Chain A
Amino acid sequence: MGKMSFIIAFIWSFVLWLVLTAGTKGMLWSAEELIAGSIFASIVAFSTRNIIGEKTTRFLNPVRWLGFVVYAMGPLFWGMVKANLDVAYRVITGKIKPGIVKVPVDLENDAQYTILSNSITLTPGTLTIDACPEEKALYVHWIHVTEEEPKTSEIIAGSFEKWARRLGK
């Protein structure tokens, strides 16, 4: 709430404006685009300052941005490649055993749940149906259930839970 959320929302929207208007003066931005961008980003940030969330200042840390880049290009990309090949194998052979399993996770906040759920959904063969913070569990639809009551998220998500815990902390 208040001033910090305004600044976060401003930076978040102003960066998108810069991405959209890059190239207005050579490779960079003309002054009028920068001024118009800051005005529009202020309006957007003022309107959304109560929506964007209370403790989002932690996402201003550049080390965390580096973490997101490393995660997206390393473990997440590799996990998607492996999972796609696995699903291709299941499409060809027809060896499936679908089911919904409850996966216990050890996460604390909304951002961590969102990062983990989206990572699980992005890797084919698994689809997050619901995240229940009060049960500390995710419900995942799995194309080939090998363990009906997993004790950790290791078998479904690999190292994603560790990454989600670190990135969303």
Chain B
Amino acid sequence: MRAQNSDMGLIVKTMARATIPLIGIFGAYVIAHGHITPGGGFQGGATIAGAGVLFLVAFGLSEAKEKINKNFYSVLEGIGGLVFLAAGMLGLGVAFFYNILWHKGPVFNGEAGTLLSAGYLSMMNLAVGLKVYTGLVSALFAIALFRRWKK
């Protein structure tokens, strides 16, 4: 029965229920603090994608098919890229990727070392994190769906 459903046993599932939110918030922490602590968009995005993989492995493909929407993930990945580009164009009056938010912006110009500092960097980290998470999860989900072992 279990082999058909391609999911794990009770203990793995219960632990996954408890740890998936924790992995998600830790990844969000790594992304949000990318400009003040080690880590950043890619690292945090890959961490959250780990939670997605845990979900896929623990609960199986049939459950994941219900929860993972291809178009939604595709759109989010595009939005991540566009936000990154938009942050780069904010200071276009001076130069491409000119950090205008840091020099004279209304937000994200707090004291260095606090959360709301470093100009557009936290926006870019969030965008990269979103893009990496959605990209990795949809790639791995697509690989998991490709199941023609027999010739």
Contact = CB atoms under 8 A, between A and B. Distances in A.
Given A30-B115, A113-B10, A131-B9, A40 B28 contact: yes
Contact of A13 (B13, B25, B59): B25
A47 B24 contact: yes
B116 interface: yes
Contacts, number: 80
B10 to A, nearest CB: 5
B31 to A, nearest CB: 9
Interface string A2-24: 00000001001110110011001
Contacts of B22: 12-13, 16
A16 B26 contact: yes
Contact of B25 (A24, A40, A51): A40
B62 interface: no
Contact of B11 (A24, A32, A53, A128): A128
Interface string A49-63: 011110010000000
B7 to A, nearest CB: 13
B67 A21 contact: no
B24 A33 contact: no
A33 B25 CA distance: 13
A16 B26 CA distance: 8
A47 B134 CA distance: 13
B29 interface: yes
A110 B14 contact: yes
Interface residues of B, number: 26
Chain A contact residues: over half helix, strand or loop, or mixed?
helix
Nearest to A17: B25
A44 to B, nearest CB: 4
Interface in B16-37: 16-18, 20-22, 24-26, 28-29, 32-33
A32 B9 contact: no
Contact of B29 (A21, A47, A128): A21
A114 interface: yes
Nearest to A35: B115
A12 B25 CA distance: 9
A153 interface: no
A43 B21 contact: no
6 contacts: A12-B18, A40-B29, A47-B24, A110-B13, A111-B14, A118-B15
